[in-house]
Amino acid sequence: MIFKCKNCGGNVVYSPEHKQMHCPYCDSQESQERAMEECDKSFCPNCGGEITVEEHTSALQCKYCDHYIILNDRVEGEYLPKKIIPFKLSKEMVKKSLRERFKKATFAPTDFLSEVRLNSMVGEYVPFFMYDYDVNCTYNAEGIKVRTWTTGDVQHTETSYYDVIRDMNINYRDIPVDASVKMPDNVMDLLEPYNYGEFVEFKPEYMSGFTAEKYNMESDTVEFRASDKMAASASSILRSSVNGYSRLNERNKNFSIRNKVNNYNLLPTWKYLYTYNDKLYPFYVNGQTGKIVGSVPVSKTKVLAYGATLFVLLNVILIAGSYIITSLGII
Ligand SMILES: [Zn+2]
Ligand SMILES: [Zn+2]
């Protein structure tokens, strides 16, 4: 499907600045209507230009007419997301924050923050599974307390043994795990947290103006990442509830999941794939919070030029220094 403007026929997109649908052609708001429902995945339904739809793509931009195409069968049925966090940051906002953040990166290549390169940035919705767990945690350990004191020449030691028992229910909500093969797991972990209070019910309108993928890893395959996060957090809560013992001999620790819910949602990211000397330097920006993940490449030319400048400066200072001494000598 494509969202077309009722006034002028242009492609209406979701605008993070306006926080609603916006037609960049006639500047109208909320003037969209769904058009061109079906797409055969080989040609743009608007201009007929050839398009390349990758295996998991659910939204893309036609490189000939710039219209954003959303593939119906990849946002419906089993692929219908429950919730979405709409892009809060536009490309212009992200360009500004990247420039601000890296303005002091002296050795970054000259075109790293150029308009042309930054314009290649793409906004993409990443598929996520989010898990809710209601967990019962039980814990049993032998707690030992040792008390020593001295009476006259005699040192006393008292050792007390305790049966430490904990039984608590913890409810976890929205533990996120990305369900995209191509998205590096460590990057997604670093891009978090998102503010999940800003989730809204999914509507395909939010995808217009951006690219997207449907989920391409099964929930059963990725769930261990969520359950590992849950277990680490529950262990830490248990540990912090047991205090005051000299020693603990753990006998038993058990997490039993009483209730589990899993939802398929979409989260916004900006992707800047910068290449330098044939090497890829990917940058990812959280499309909601603006958090940036990526390493700036170093330009050897700039480092060498900087070294040469330092050398020249040093010489100038030395020459100036000797001049002052000479002058003083004359006086
Ligand atoms: Zn219009
Ligand atoms: Zn087109």
Which ligand is the nearest neighbour of the Cα of 33?
1
Which ligand is the nearest neighbour of the Cα of 63?
2
Report yes or no: 131 and 117 within 8 Å, Cβ to Cβ. no
- % residues pLDDT > 70 (the chain): 91
Whether the predicted pLDDT of 6 surpasses 90: yes
Which ligand is the nearest neighbour of the Cα of 27?
1
Clarify whether residues 185 and 236 are in a common domain. yes
Clarify whether residues 222 and 284 are in a common domain. yes
Which ligand is the nearest neighbour of the Cα of 60?
2
Q: How far is the CA of 73 from the centre of ligand 1 (A)?
A: 27
- Per-residue pLDDT, averaged over 203-213, amounts to 97
Clarify whether residues 324 and 177 are in a common domain. no
Residue 90 lies in a domain: no
Q: How far is the CA of 48 from the centre of ligand 2 (A)?
A: 6
Clarify whether residues 282 and 307 are in a common domain. no
Clarify whether residues 193 and 255 are in a common domain. yes
- Band (185; pLDDT cuts 50, 70, 90): confident
Residue 263 lies in a domain: yes
Residue 25 lies in a domain: no
Q: How far is the CA of 61 from the centre of ligand 2 (A)?
A: 8
Which ligand is the nearest neighbour of the Cα of 5?
1
Helix (H, G, I), strand (E, B) or coil at 246: coil
How many structural domains does the chain have? 2
Residue 176 lies in a domain: yes
- Per-residue pLDDT, averaged over 231-256, amounts to 92
Q: Do the strands 247-276 and 83-84 form a parallel or antiparallel pair, or are they unpaired? A: parallel
Q: pLDDT tens, 37-65?
A: 777 889 999 999 999 999 999 999 999 99
Q: How far is the CA of 270 from the centre of ligand 1 (A)?
A: 26
Which ligand is the nearest neighbour of the Cα of 22?
1
Return the C-alpha torsion angle 63, 88, 80, 174, nearest 10: 140
Location of structure tokens 């590096």 = 184
Q: How far is the CA of 212 from the centre of ligand 1 (A)?
A: 24
Q: pLDDT tens, 94-130?
A: 999 999 988 887 778 888 899 999 999 999 999 999 9
Residue 178 lies in a domain: yes
- % residues pLDDT > 90 (the chain): 73
Clarify whether residues 150 and 284 are in a common domain. yes
Clarify whether residues 188 and 305 are in a common domain. no
Amino acid 316: pLDDT: 57
Amino acid 313: pLDDT: 60
Q: How far is the CA of 25 from the centre of ligand 1 (A)?
A: 5
Report how far residue 252's alpha carbon sits from residue 211's, in angstroms, rounded to the nearest whole number: 48
Q: How far is the CA of 12 from the centre of ligand 1 (A)?
A: 7
Helix (H, G, I), strand (E, B) or coil at 17: coil
Clarify whether residues 212 and 263 are in a common domain. yes
Clarify whether residues 156 and 287 are in a common domain. yes
Q: How far is the CA of 90 from the centre of ligand 1 (A)?
A: 19
Q: How far is the CA of 17 from the centre of ligand 1 (A)?
A: 17
- The separation between CA 303 and the C-alpha centre of its own chain, rounded to angstroms, equals 31
- Band (205; pLDDT cuts 50, 70, 90): very high
Whether the predicted pLDDT of 218 surpasses 60: yes
- Band (306; pLDDT cuts 50, 70, 90): low
Residue 210 lies in a domain: yes
Residue 100 lies in a domain: no
Structural domain harbouring 264: 127-298
Of 259, 269, 16, which is closest to residue 124 (Cα–Cα)? Answer: 269
Clarify whether residues 186 and 313 are in a common domain. no
- Per-residue pLDDT, averaged over 70-99, amounts to 96
16 vs 108, more confident: 16
Amino acid 328: pLDDT: 43
Helix (H, G, I), strand (E, B) or coil at 328: helix
Amino acid 83: pLDDT: 97
Protein residues within 5 Å, CB atom, of ion ligand 2:
44, 46-47, 49, 62, 64-65
Clarify whether residues 215 and 287 are in a common domain. yes
Q: How far is the CA of 15 from the centre of ligand 1 (A)?
A: 14
Residue 144 lies in a domain: yes
Clarify whether residues 303 and 280 are in a common domain. no
Question: Which secondary structure element, helix H or strand E, spans residue 132, and what is its range?
Answer: strand 122-151
